[in-house]
Structure 1
Amino acid sequence: MKKEVWTALGYGLAIILILMLTSSFILALLLRFTTIDTNLINLFTMILAMLILFTGGATAGHRGQEKGWMYGLITGGAFLLFIILYQYLGLQKGVQLSQVPYLAGMVGSALIGGMLGVNIRSTRATGSKK
């Protein structure tokens, strides 16, 4: 693969990692200092994860500047591989059938983000200044 491809994927995965760590910290603080229901936290976590993967896919697609679906799919797939390896090696659990729709939704979110990220215009490309 070309250097540009690796750079785009690296940016996408770095954005995902940073946003996931930040949101995990905030959710941990919410759980510690509030009496929020865990069912609500689970729903909020799923929505937040989809938005974060969308953002990571969009970043990778924007950096790649073409074939955004491929950048989003690879970014989502790399995240999926990380989750599966963490779950298998760290928690000694395999992927359960009930997790498949959630994991597919996250990869799909990154794919859609990659497709839309290609169309994000930067100020350098258009030459306009604010």
Structure 2
Amino acid sequence: MIEAKKIGGAVLYGTLTIFLIAVVASVVFSLMLRFTELTEGSISLFVTIMSFLALFIGGFMSGGKGKIKGWMLGGSTGLIYTIIVFLFQYLGYDSLFSMEQMVYHGCYILTAMMGGILGVNLSGGPSSKT
């Protein structure tokens, strides 16, 4: 019971981190598009890089907070993010994921898993107090 609560809290923490980074990056990119001569096409690579970085950091935070099973914590964090984005797109825009989006989200989940593994390993792994 305690471990499930710890895992759930870690995944929630990582998912909130991802969305916080996404909101901040969206504001920065929208301001850049509004007040400079940049176009959406010219910053698409930076948006993609920022997306992967946000998922990695979210997985890292999740793994660091949970301190166990980094692959599972990171993967769950990426999966929750993907489900939320899918539900938003499906319920809000009545559109399913395209094949390209499925590939991106599969890579997002793998990136979050790598972040979770690294987060557990850099946080010192399981604590001896458990």
TM-score by length of 2: 0.89
2:79 equivalent in structure 1:
77
Deviation at 1:39, TM superposition (A): 1.9
Deviation at 1:98, TM superposition (A): 2.0
SS of aligned partner of 1:100: helix
2:101 equivalent in structure 1:
99
Please tell me whether the aligned partners of residues 67 and 123 of structure 2 are also in contact (alpha carbons under 8 angstroms). no
Deviation at 1:37, TM superposition (A): 3.1
2:18 equivalent in structure 1:
16
Q: How many residues align?
A: 123
Letter in structure 1 aligned against 2:117: M
The match for 1:64 among 50, 63, 66 is 66
1:121 equivalent in structure 2:
123
SS of aligned partner of 2:12: helix
Letter in structure 2 aligned against 1:51: L
CA deviation vs aligned residue, 1:7-53 (integer Å, no higher than 9, x gap)? 11111011111111111110110110111132232111111000000
SS of aligned partner of 1:74: helix
Is the aligned partner of 1:5 residue 2:1? Answer: no
Deviation at 1:54, TM superposition (A): 0.2
CA deviation vs aligned residue, 1:82-115 (integer Å, no higher than 9, x gap)? 1110110111111111222211111111011001
The answer for unaligned runs of 5 or more in structure 1 is: 126-130
- Give percent identity, aligned residues only: 36
Taking only aligned residues, the RMSD between alpha carbons, in angstroms, comes to 1.4
Letter in structure 1 aligned against 2:87: L
The answer for unaligned runs of 5 or more in structure 2 is: none
Q: Distance in 2 between matches of 1:59 and 1:74?
A: 12
Q: Distance in 2 between matches of 1:48 and 1:100?
A: 18
1:128 equivalent in structure 2:
none
TM-score by length of 1: 0.89
Please tell me whether the aligned partners of residues 15 and 81 of structure 2 are also in contact (alpha carbons under 8 angstroms). yes
SS of aligned partner of 1:94: coil
Q: Distance in 2 between matches of 1:40 and 1:58?
A: 29
